[in-house]
């Protein structure tokens, strides 16, 4: 699949997740076979651009191309300026966030709240596309309220504005993260427009990935929460889509190596204080469902230095290896395919 002139190595994309998909995590997902990744959202408000958080989010040093920077805001000119800034900062693709349901974002009429004002949506799309020479993509939801889904109009308008690809989360703002993602409207959008459509929402297994691709006809799929603590999901899905066969789950020794490598990257990226704290949630995700993991996490949260944190993680995994725990013993929650449409 192409985004503008960029040919992606495959059609599996890491969803942008603020607080999760920082440069180390995106790099890891790409290593495991994700064909593309989008940065965490960055506010278009330039007064916040030099905050520590924004600087981490805008750090693309050494990242594999194409580099996609996501911007969020509600003022067309401000978003256009933010797009130009991100391109000057190394972004090769600019992604506009019209999907975030968070109150903090929606109260400023940004993220998914924009879907309530289609004229403003159109102005934003036209202005940002005109502002930069790189492809501009859009990530959004089905609509603001259930029963008032306006994605067909928004998608058509996005295509007319020159948007290069549309990523669509199969929920409304009202749904937040409740209910199941609905794929019927994604299918209709795909039939309606000619630009690449990326289906998103609740894809958490190779079968689900194949189901969503087949059902919607989408050009690509985007995976968020299921990749937390499981970056190898891209390898598993890629293999299944190619061969129809399941790849063995990584064994404990591989998970240990991946996690320790991930921690080392986080420590280098964020430094001692933030590195230790940001790593905690990743460690929690990687260890979910493993033997005595609750007890391990309670102890791990108390550790205050990166060196000690890496040590307790290593010791925990060594203990699992001694006990012969296998990853295949871990239950991964899956959604019943028959319940969704
Ligand atoms: C912790 C978290 C942070 C998120 N941050 C962003 C963001 O910065 N930008 C965005 O467009 N979507 C964001 N999302 C939404 C995801 O990109 C995705 O649309 C959503 O999680 C549904 O996909 P999934 O079911 O595969 O997780 C976030 C989701 C989560 C769970």
Give residue-wise pLDDT tens across range 274-297: 999 999 999 999 999 999 999 999
Do the annotations mark residue 16 as ligand-binding? yes
Q: Which residue's alpha carbon is nearest to atom 10 within ligand 1?
A: 16
Pocket test for ligand 1, best of 12, 14, 15 (most atoms within 8 A of CB): 15
**Closest Cα to atom 21, ligand 1: which residue?**
224
CA of 145 from ligand 1 middle (Å) equals: 18
Burial class (CB in 10 A: 0-12, 13-18, 19+), 61: exposed
* pLDDT tens for each residue of 17-30: 999 999 999 999 99
Q: Which of 190, 146, 140, 188 is nearest to 168 (CA)?
A: 140
Average pLDDT over residues 35-50: 96
Determine if residue 107 is labeled as part of a ligand binding site: no
Interval 143-185: pLDDT, tens: 999 999 999 999 999 999 999 999 999 999 999 999 999 999 9
User: How much is the pLDDT for 24?
Assistant: 98
Task: Tell which wins on pLDDT, 272 or 339.
Answer: 272
Average pLDDT, the chain: 94
The answer to whether 29 is a known catalytic residue is no
Distance CA 204, CA 225 (A): 8
Closest residue CA from atom 1 of ligand 1 = 17
- Residue 223 C-alpha to ligand 1 middle, in angstroms? 9
Q: Does 224 belong to an annotated binding site?
A: yes
Mutation probe of ligand 1 site: the residue of 17, 22, 198, 202 with most atoms within 8 A of C-beta: 17
- 109, pLDDT greater than 70: yes
Q: How far is the CA of 16 from the centre of ligand 1 (A)?
A: 6
Please list every protein residue whose CB sits less than 6 Å from any atom of ligand 1. Answer: 15-20, 40-41, 70, 97, 99-100, 139, 169, 200-203, 223-226
> Residue 328 pLDDT more than 90?
no
What is the per-residue pLDDT for 266? 98
With a pLDDT cut of 90, the percent of the chain lying above it is 90
Whole-number Å distance between alpha carbons of 50 and 53: 8
Q: pLDDT band at residue 244, thresholds of 50, 70 and 90?
A: very high
- Which domains are seen in the chain, by residue range? 2-243 (3.20.20.70), 252-329 (1.10.1200)
Report the nearest-CA residue for atom 5 of ligand 1: 17
**Overall average pLDDT of the 91-120 stretch:** 89
List all residues 6 or more positions away from 318 whose beta carbon is below 8 Å from its beta carbon. Answer: 256
* 102 preceded by a cis bond (ω within 30 of 0): no
Asked whether residue 83 carries a pLDDT value surpassing 70, the answer given is yes
Torsions phi, psi for 12 (to 5 deg): -110, 120
pLDDT of residue 329: 67
Q: How far is CA 316 from CA 226, 253, 258, 312, in A?
A: 23, 12, 14, 6
pLDDT, residue 308, reads: 98
Run of H or E including 190: helix 184-192
Is residue 21 within 8 A of residue 80, CB to CB? The reply is no
224 CA → ligand 1 middle, Å: 6
Average pLDDT, integer, range 177-204: 97
The torsion angle over the Cα atoms of residues 88, 89, 90 and 94, rounded to 10 degrees, is -80
pLDDT at residue number 100: 87
18 among annotated binding-site residues: yes
Residue 333 has pLDDT above 70, yes or no: no
Q: Above 60 in pLDDT, residue 341?
A: no
- The pLDDT value recorded for residue 330 is 64
Name the residue with the closest Cα to ligand 1, atom 2. Answer: 17
CA distance 216 to 142: 14
Task: Give me the mean pLDDT over the 31-60 stretch.
Answer: 96
Q: What percent of the chain has pLDDT over 70?
A: 96
Q: Which of 2-6, 110-114, 227-231, 332-336 has the lowest mean pLDDT?
A: 332-336
Q: Identify the pLDDT of residue 338.
A: 40
pLDDT exceeds 50 at position 243: yes
CA dihedral (125, 127, 130, 132) positive or negative: negative
Helix or strand run (H / E) with residue 306: helix 306-323
Residues with Cβ within 8 Å of residue 16, at least 6 apart in sequence: 37, 38, 39, 40, 41, 70, 95, 97, 139, 224
The separation between the first and the last C-alpha atoms of the chain, rounded to the nearest angstrom, is: 25
CA of 20 relative to ligand 1 center, distance in Å? 9
Q: Is the pLDDT of residue 332 over 60?
A: no
Exposed, middle or buried, 192 (CB in 10 Å: 0-12/13-18/19+)?
A: middle
């Amino acid at each position: 699949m192409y985004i503008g002139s960029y040919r992606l190595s495959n059609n599996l994309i890491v969803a942008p997740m603020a607080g999760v998909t920082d440069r180390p995590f995106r790099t890891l997902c790409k290593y495991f076979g994700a064909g593309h990744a989008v940065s965490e959202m960055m506010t278009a408000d330039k007064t916040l651009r030099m905050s520590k958080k924004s600087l981490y989010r805008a750090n693309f040093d050494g990242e594999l191309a194409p580099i996609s920077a996501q911007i969020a805001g509600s003022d067309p000119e401000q978003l256009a300026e933010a797009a130009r800034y991100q391109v000057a900062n190394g972004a090769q693709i600019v992604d506009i966030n019209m999907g975030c349901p968070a109150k903090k974002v929606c109260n400023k009429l940004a993220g998914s709240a924009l879907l309530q004002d289609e004229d403003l949506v159109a102005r934003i799309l036209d202005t940002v596309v005109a502002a930069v020479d790189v492809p501009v993509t859009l990530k959004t939801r089905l609509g603001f309220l259930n029963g008032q889904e306006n994605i067909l109009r928004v998608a058509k308008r996005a295509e007319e504005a020159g948007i290069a690809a549309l990523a669509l989360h199969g929920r409304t703002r009202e749904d937040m993260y409740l209910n199941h993602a609905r794929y019927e409207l994604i299918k209709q959008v795909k039939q309606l427009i000619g630009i690449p459509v990326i289906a998103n929402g609740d894809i958490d297994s190779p079968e689900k990935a194949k189901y969503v691709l087949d059902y919607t006809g989408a050009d690509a799929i985007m995976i968020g929460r299921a990749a937390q603590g499981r970056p190898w999901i891209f390898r598993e899905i890629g293999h299944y889509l190619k061969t129809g066969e399941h790849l063995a789950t990584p064994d404990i020794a591989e998970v240990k190596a991946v996690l320790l490598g991930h921690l080392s990257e986080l420590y280098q990226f964020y430094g001692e204080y933030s590195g230790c704290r940001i790593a905690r949630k990743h460690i929690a995700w990687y260890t979910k469902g493993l033997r005595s993991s609750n007890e391990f996490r309670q102890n791990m949260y108390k550790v205050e230095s990166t060196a000690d944190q890496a040590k307790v993680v290593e010791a925990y995994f060594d203990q699992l290896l001694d006990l012969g725990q296998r990853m295949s013993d871990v239950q991964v929650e899956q959604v019943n395919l028959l319940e969704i449409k």
